Amino acid sequence: MAKPSDNLVDAIYSDLRLKLQRSMITPSDRLVDTDIAAANGSSRMPAREALLRLVSEGYLVGTTRGFAIRELSLEDISGLFEVRRQLEPRAAASAARDMTPAVEAELAAAMDRVEQALGENDIPALLAANVDFRNAWLKAVRNPHMAATISRFMDYFQSVRLGTFADGATAERYIDGLSRIHRAFLAHDPLMVQDRMTLFMFAAEEAYLDVRQRQLREAEMSRTARRRYTKRGTA
């Protein structure tokens, strides 16, 4: 029988996980257990347990000032995409085969929200709709362990995905690829879905690597500027 504290940990974990999925927590944010406990009206321990669960699953890392999003290296991105390409195309093909009318309707509604958000340049809504699209087709994957693993690997990229969607041209290409996958789902064509998902993975990897390289260059420029400022101040 679950203890009340277990339910509270699950609730805090789910709330944080949703915020991570939708990039509502940025790499510069620091998650402090006492702050999260206060926001949820709980004691410190359930908040800390939820944060440590996210650390164990690879979403967060501990810092001297709380917990932060795990930032990916270029090698991390390439390695994670290699795994994703082994899983997602085949899982998506099985989803196309087993998709129910209810899941199909949910997928179509999510795609409509994606296109609307793109047209309105509403990045938060675009991120949310993108997650909804992913979650919709994963419902048609019969193996729950496979679906959970894919969801986790997708969510590792949230700190980079925000930068991808912030670039209009890149976002349009991304959504065009998503639309092509959606049409293949509607055709209930497993082979077409698998092929389009594979192409989508390669394009996404290229876009994410470009964004991360830019982030790393900007971070290095910022560090250089701070060092120069410090030297001038002590001269």
Tell me what pLDDT residue 70 has: 87
Tell me what pLDDT residue 32 has: 94
- Domains along the sequence of the chain with CATH: 4-69 (1.10.10.10), 74-219 (1.20.120.530)
Name the pTM for this structure.
0.81
The torsion angles phi and psi of 68, rounded to 5 degrees, stand at -140, 160
Which residue's structure tokens are 């101040």?
233
Whether the CB-CB separation of 107 and 71 falls below 8 Å is answered with: no
User: Which uninterrupted H or E stretch holds 88?
Assistant: helix 74-98
Mean pLDDT by 10 residues, the chain (235 residues): 67 91 84 93 92 92 90 92 95 96 96 93 89 94 94 83 78 91 96 97 91 85 76 63
- DSSP labels for 126-172? HHHHHHHHHHHHHTT-S-HHHHHHHHHHHHTTHHHHHHHHHSHHHHH
